[in-house]
């Protein structure tokens, strides 16, 4: 369901997808340059863009008669996060032929293996406009387990399988989808926690950088003060030596 909605967003709401991809390019550029200030400045835009992207997926899914579950919406947002972080994930999303959602572990590359429809199926999926036409391959009877449709509804008039077999297959696929939803929810929570820790570390780094800069400034000021004190001591020492010599000279004249 989530991958199907993502493909619909690419087709029906390209502006939201372009906004997400453009932000991803800017965030990756800032990351490659270790530009902490730029990343911090993009944080608000990141949240609003992901929110808009997720809302667009909900809208197109509703428009096609299939509301998204919370876990599916979470998986869609996770795919958006992956597209922001990784260029390959961004390309996979932009292709509009995902068969599963994407996840970013917080570091490294996003695994896009087996995430994109096979070339021979890609054209067929792009020609479809509604989930009801994507639920089964009536001519071959193969299970449509990719995410180009929200569920499999067998056409009993053309599908060679018996009604009982079709129901068993549907029940199995529904169970697999439910299991996948639970796993995606768990992974999304892990991702959110890792993002929180990464942001906390970035803030800590910024704080430490400011402390180091303040310490360096204080060190320079202390060194300058120490130099001034040495010069003052040397001046006082010269004055003392001159006074001592004058005193000794005066004593000698007095004795004579």
Model confidence pLDDT, tens digit, residues 146-184: 444 444 443 444 444 467 676 666 566 666 665 665 665
pLDDT tens-digit map of 63-77: 888 878 888 888 898
N- to C-terminal Cα distance for the chain?
116
pLDDT at 177: 61
- Cα(73)–Cα(238) distance, integer angstroms: 81
Higher pLDDT, 94 or 149: 94
Higher pLDDT, 1 or 134: 1
- Cα(25)–Cα(2) distance, integer angstroms: 24
pTM score, whole prediction? 0.47
In this model, does residue 119 exceed pLDDT 50?
A: no
Mean pLDDT within 46-53 = 88
Burial class for 161, CB neighbours closer than 10 Å (0-12, 13-18, 19+): middle
Mean pLDDT of the residues in the chain: 76
E strand or H helix at 61, and its extent? helix 43-63
- Cα(125)–Cα(8) distance, integer angstroms: 11
């Amino acid at each position: 369901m989530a991958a199907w909605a993502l493909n619909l967003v690419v087709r029906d709401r390209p502006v939201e997808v372009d906004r997400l991809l453009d932000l991803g390019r800017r965030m990756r550029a800032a990351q490659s340059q270790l530009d902490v200030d730029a990343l911090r400045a993009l944080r608000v835009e990141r949240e609003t863009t992901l929110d808009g992207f997720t809302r667009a997926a909900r809208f197109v899914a509703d428009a096609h008669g299939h509301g998204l579950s919370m876990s599916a919406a979470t998986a869609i947002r996770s795919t958006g996060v992956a597209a922001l972080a990784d260029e390959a994930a961004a390309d996979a999303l932009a292709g509009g032929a995902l068969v599963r959602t994407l996840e970013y572990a917080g570091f490294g590359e996003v695994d896009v293996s087996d995430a994109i429809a096979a070339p021979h199926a890609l054209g067929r999926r792009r020609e479809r406009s509604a989930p009801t036409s994507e639920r089964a391959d009536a001519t071959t009877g193969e299970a449509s387990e990719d995410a180009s449709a929200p569920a499999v509804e067998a056409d009993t008039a053309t599908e060679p399988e018996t009604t009982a077999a079709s129901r068993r297959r549907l029940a199995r696929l529904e169970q697999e989808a439910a299991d996948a939803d639970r796993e995606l929810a768990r992974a999304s929570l892990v991702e959110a926690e890792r993002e929180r820790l990464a942001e906390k570390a970035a803030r800590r780094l910024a704080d430490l950088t400011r402390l180091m800069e303040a310490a360096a400034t204080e060190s320079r000021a202390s060194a300058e003060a120490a130099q001034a004190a040495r010069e003052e001591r040397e001046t006082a020492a010269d004055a003392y030596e001159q006074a001592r010599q004058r005193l000794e000279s005066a004593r000698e004249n007095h004795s004579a």
